[in-house]
A = this chain, B = another copy of it.
Amino acid sequence: MAEATPKGRYHHGNLRAALVQAGYHLAVEQGPDAVTLRAVTRRAGVSPAAAYRHFAGLEELRVAIGLWSIRGLARSIEEHQSQVEVADPAPRARAMLEAVGDGYLAFALDQPRVFRIGLYGLLGMEHAELAEGAGDSGRTPFQLLTDALVGLAAVGVLPAERVEPAAIQCWSSVHGFASLATQGPLRGAPREVRDVMARRLVRDVVDGVLAVGSRSEGDETS
């Protein structure tokens, strides 16, 4: 899509999109460090300076490429959510939350290079909330998580004031696991092993989030 690649024409037509695509493929094939301004423009068949008509500089180009990667993450979550078929409101809300975690981890495990590009190589977590990282529904991964938690609150399973801390807890665990499973100590483990770990982690985290109030506030180690 958006591959308007005219031949021999002086004006490209849609160079901005073409540069992002070129950079994306470059990153997937050769790693984030290969995403250099000259390499990207070279691949797009254009002179280096041409990029400056569409981006302020390399950094902005890299962010655009990274955001394109993150869109895949959002889409993966949306896809998992669209397959939830539970009808009862409360169980459905829970399933929608699990779908966020499952979609997140499925993407990280299925396309580790892309995942890495988006969240480590080209942009940091400080860009996680940028609107350009949104999926087809127009919501970014973080918003999809919050939406799911708000959904749980709406059916009365989660106190409204617990939505924010729960978001942190979910995001921490899932993102942390994704890091370990794709780049950390688990990166060598067989795919099936990481799959069941992922599935279990998501279930445990959701359990933990919903078990609120059943644990007292002040008890300590004694």
Residues of B within 8 A of A129 (CB): 185
- Give the Cβ gap from A73 to chain B, nearest Cβ, in Å: 14
A173 to B142, CA, bound (A): 17
Determine if A63 is an interface residue (Cβ-Cβ < 8 Å).
no
Specify the main secondary structure of chain A where it touches its partner. helix
Residue in A94, A120, A177, A185 whose Cβ sees the most chain B Cβ within 10 Å? A185
Q: Given A98-B221, A197-B165, A204-B208, A125 and B173 touching (CB < 8 A)?
A: no
Report the count of interface residues on A (CB-CB < 8 A).
Answer: 38
Q: Judging by beta carbons under 8 Å apart, are A128 and B221 in contact?
A: no
Q: Across the two chains, which residue of chain B brings its CB closest to A197?
A: B168
Q: Judging by beta carbons under 8 Å apart, are A175 and B183 in contact?
A: no
Determine if A30 is an interface residue (Cβ-Cβ < 8 Å).
no
Q: Judging by beta carbons under 8 Å apart, are B201 and A172 in contact?
A: yes
Q: Judging by beta carbons under 8 Å apart, are A179 and B215 in contact?
A: no
A129 to B188, CA, bound (A): 13
- Give the Cβ gap from A100 to chain B, nearest Cβ, in Å: 14
Q: Among the listed B168, B177, B186, B222, which residue makes an inter-chain contact with A177, where contact means beta carbons less than 8 Å apart?
A: B168
Determine if A124 is an interface residue (Cβ-Cβ < 8 Å).
yes
Q: Judging by beta carbons under 8 Å apart, are B168 and A180 in contact?
A: yes
Q: Across the two chains, which residue of chain B brings its CB closest to A142?
A: B185
A165 to B171, CA, bound (A): 19
- Give the Cβ gap from A63 to chain B, nearest Cβ, in Å: 14
Residues of B within 8 A of A128 (CB): 184-185
User: Besides the contacts A142-B185, A172-B172, what 19 more A-B pairs have beta carbons closer than 8 Å?
Assistant: A86-B221, A91-B221, A120-B120, A125-B179, A125-B180, A125-B183, A126-B183, A128-B185, A165-B200, A169-B201, A169-B204, A171-B180, A171-B185, A172-B173, A172-B179, A173-B176, A175-B176, A175-B179, A176-B176
